[in-house]
């Protein structure tokens, strides 16, 4: 029986981190190159890394990036439900970009009817305005314990008759078993949505895979759309992975003073840790994510990133002796940077009746500020400057920091600096190239490092665009896009914003897409720290 063409396609995975976000990003750019008006969509995202759209709404970071790839303005419809874990049993709900309440663990499978209807309405909104909606699933569609009430995988596919494509990660092993197991676990009605599969992160000679591909297609009837290669330089705005491939640097050798060592504290409820991706991209800067107080004490710069639960993570800092290491650095005039929730940790006083309910609590006392949490969530895309360098940023937080009377600290962006302890509520500041390099130069001098910025280093926005291009090139070369499009109603309706540059071997932007500029947002709300 022939299938009806659909207004969208659903990219699911055999597991989390199989590469769904990357594949959707590549598809958005590759199909936009063909003149198709594309929009990304993820009905529900669970992540503490988020962004702020131009209208002040908050969505998952991956969907914001996918909108950039598609040349579309990011909107709350692209990620209508965002769950931000606040504990092992509770998530804070962001609905259409605004705080909505909490979802307890026991409600996950059954308490989401209103969220489902909002997600379906958002899909219809995008489908009415675009030629094709490229949807990203969550986790795996074979999580049969969660099938009731599902609206992000099979529930979405069944509602809108979307063809589903399964992505399997061969790098972790067992890819044929995971693809076949996904197929086998579904009932007949759900299985009917499956149309094809993609193998991701392959290294080697593809001919070795061919017998397995043929047997899998024979046993399932699914179309093999292609095999994507391992792309070592593509990391694309992580959602929850803390050790991005670009960060895995070896500790600097003793006496190697032309490098800068940065220790990023891996807080238990870390959020918007992607703030430091720009540091990791800077030549000569080694970024290590750590929970070791010795690494914190030894680094040239320590970063306390955002946190979803400030007071709880403050307790953890003290229990692990990291707090002592950070305070020791500050007393010696050695650089420390706190961002949003990390900035709040540096305060003298924290008044939190919202998240922890603990009320007044003493912070690390390294900056002369008082932090108060309230129900109101601050979402914005502020701009400012530091020593003549323009800074565009975004902010997402419930905690408000106010200076304590009589402070002799120096203002730093929207926050404060005392000796070499720096703090700001703003996210995304380090993506501003001139500011980042000037600030790191001062940090290097204070830490005794001879590191200096390389003038020929690419801009961070250029690196992100290059990675989108790399992923799109791989999708075009290795996947059967004509077959995929044949399952949909999509036809080219807009000018091609990208043109191929043969000399460079890739694609370059001809006209800047709407979603490709502006500040990036990466924090969460909830009483403790980032909103």
Q: Which residues are catalytic?
A: 340, 427
Report helix angle 20-33 to 460-478, nearest 10: 80
Place of tokens 């709404």: 57
Three-class SS state of 456: coil
Distance CA(453)–CA(442), nearest Å, equals 11
Report helix angle 433-447 to 460-478, nearest 10: 120
Sheet containing strand 285-290, strands side by side = 285-290, 260-265, 301-304, 336-339, 421-424, 415-418, 410-412
What spatial distance separates the first Cα and last Cα of the chain, rounded to whole Å? 49
**Geometric angle at alpha carbon 61, from 308 and 246, rounded to 5°:** 95
- Transcribe 99-140 into DSSP letters: EEEEEEGGGTTTS-HHHHHHHHHHHHHHHHHSSEEEEE--S-
CA distances 299 to 242, 248, 265, 443, 472, Å, are: 18, 15, 11, 11, 37
Residues 261/303, Cβ–Cβ less than 8 Å? no
Place of tokens 């720290």: 529
Q: Per residue in 218-231, is it b (16+ CB within 10 Å) or e — as a string?
A: eebebbbbbbbeeb
Residues constituting the chain? 531
Supply the DSSP symbol for 6.
B
- Transcribe 365-403 into DSSP letters: --EEEEEEEEEEEEEE--EEEETTEEEE-BEEEEEEEEE
């Amino acid at each position: 029986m022939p299938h009806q063409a659909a207004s969208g396609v659903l990219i699911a995975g055999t597991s989390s981190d199989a590469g769904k976000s990357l594949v959707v990003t590549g598809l958005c750019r590759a199909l936009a190159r063909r003149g198709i008006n594309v929009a990304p969509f993820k009905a529900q995202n669970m992540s503490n890394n988020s962004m702020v759209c131009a209208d002040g709404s908050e969505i998952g970071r991956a969907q914001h990036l996918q909108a950039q790839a598609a040349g579309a303005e990011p909107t709350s419809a692209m990620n209508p439900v965002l769950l931000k874990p606040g504990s092992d049993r509770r998530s804070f709900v962001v609905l259409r970009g605004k705080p909505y309440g909490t979802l307890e663990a026991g409600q996950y499978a059954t308490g989401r009817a209103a969220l489902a209807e909002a997600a379906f309405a958002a899909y219809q909104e995008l489908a009415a305005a675009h030629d094709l909606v490229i949807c990203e699933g969550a986790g795996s569609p074979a999580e049969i314990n969660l099938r009731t009430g599902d609206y992000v995988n099979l529930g979405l596919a069944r509602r809108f008759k979307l063809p589903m494509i399964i992505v399997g990660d061969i790098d972790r092993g067992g890819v044929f078993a995971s693809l076949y197991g996904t197929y086998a676990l579904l009932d007949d009605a759900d299985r009917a949505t499956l149309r094809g599969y993609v193998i991701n992160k392959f290294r080697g000679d593809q001919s070795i895979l061919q017998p397995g591909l043929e047997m899998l297609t024979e046993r399932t009837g699914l179309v093999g759309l292609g095999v994507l290669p391992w792309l070592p330089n593509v990391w694309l705005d992580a959602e929850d992975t803390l050790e991005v491939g670009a960060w895995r640097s070896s500790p600097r050798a003793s006496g190697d003073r032309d490098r800068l060592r940065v220790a990023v504290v891996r807080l238990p409820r870390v959020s918007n840790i992607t703030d430091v991706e720009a540091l990791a991209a800077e030549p000569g800067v080694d970024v290590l994510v750590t929970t070791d107080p010795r690494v914190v004490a030894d680094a040239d710069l320590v970063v306390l990133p955002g946190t979803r639960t400030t007071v709880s993570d403050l307790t953890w800092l003290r229990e692990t002796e990291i707090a002592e290491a950070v305070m020791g650095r500050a007393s010696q005039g050695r650089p420390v940077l706190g961002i949003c929730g990390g900035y709040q940790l540096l305060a003298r006083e924290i008044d939190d009746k919202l998240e922890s309910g603990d009320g007044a609590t003493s912070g690390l006392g390294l900056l002369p500020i008082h932090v108060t949490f309230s129900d109101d969530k601050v979402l914005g895309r502020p701009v400012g400057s530091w020593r003549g360098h323009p800074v565009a940023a975004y902010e997402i937080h419930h905690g408000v920091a106010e200076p304590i009377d009589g402070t002799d600290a120096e203002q730093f962006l929207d926050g404060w600096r005392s000796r070499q302890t720096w703090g700001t509520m703003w996210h995304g500041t380090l993506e501003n190239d001139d500011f980042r390099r000037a600030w790191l130069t001062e940090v290097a001098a204070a830490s005794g490092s001879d590191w200096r910025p390389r003038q020929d280093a690419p801009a961070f926005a250029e690196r992100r665009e290059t990675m989108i291009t790399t992923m799109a090139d791989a999708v075009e070369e290795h996947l059967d896009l004509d077959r995929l499009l044949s399952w949909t109603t999509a036809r080219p309706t807009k000018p091609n914003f990208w043109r191929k540059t043969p000399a460079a071997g890739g694609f370059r932007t001809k006209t800047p897409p709407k979603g490709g500029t502006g500040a990036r947002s990466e924090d969460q709300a909830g009483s403790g720290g980032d909103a």
